[in-house]
Structure 1
Amino acid sequence: MSGYFLTACLIVVVLSFEVSFRRSWNLSRNSELLGPAQRLAVRQRAMWPAGCGLICMLLGWIVLHFVQDKLVLSVTGSLIMLSASFFTGSFIGFMAGTVNRV
């Protein structure tokens, strides 16, 4: 893999971390006076970006399974890597934003 692609993956991780962290931190900060069921709903809303990244990554793996030995293998692998980067950044941002808050 080229250095530019790995740099792009690192940028995706950092940006998705920042967006997910701010979203989960704002949602959890405003949920201090809520009941347990409402806190769970807030936590689920904060988890949406990471869930979307996971779904995209799984769909990429399914596509990769069906296009093995084809020409587009490198493109599909690159998309899976970018989806994995997005999922990783979003999940870490979610975890960092909700620690001891929700």
Structure 2
Amino acid sequence: MAELPSNFPECDVLLHCGDLTEDGTPESTSSALKELGKMRAELMLAIAGNHETPLEKPFWLSQASKNGVTFLREGAYLFKLSSGATFRIYASQYTPVYGFSAF
């Protein structure tokens, strides 16, 4: 993930859908999670893409949580924001098998 702009606006929900990194290395994954953690959002969600091989392991999921990012696995989710608004989403990280890929 490239460095995000410093003037990224504050938001209620930030949703990143797939491929946090270009190469899926642990270093790139850690850097991307830290970068997302800098964003000002009440709710930060991410759906893993096929490059996120490290996120199949519990260690990386805990790193995401440490940076305020919740990874969504297959399923339906409902979040309630502090404003009283609700955010409902169906997530799936599964992609067709192509080479050495996650999920």
How does the TM-score come out when normalised to structure 1?
0.30
How does the TM-score come out when normalised to structure 2?
0.30
Which structure shows the higher helix fraction? 1
RCO (CA 8 Å, sep 6+): is it higher in 1 or 2?
Answer: 1
Q: Which structure: larger Rg?
A: 1
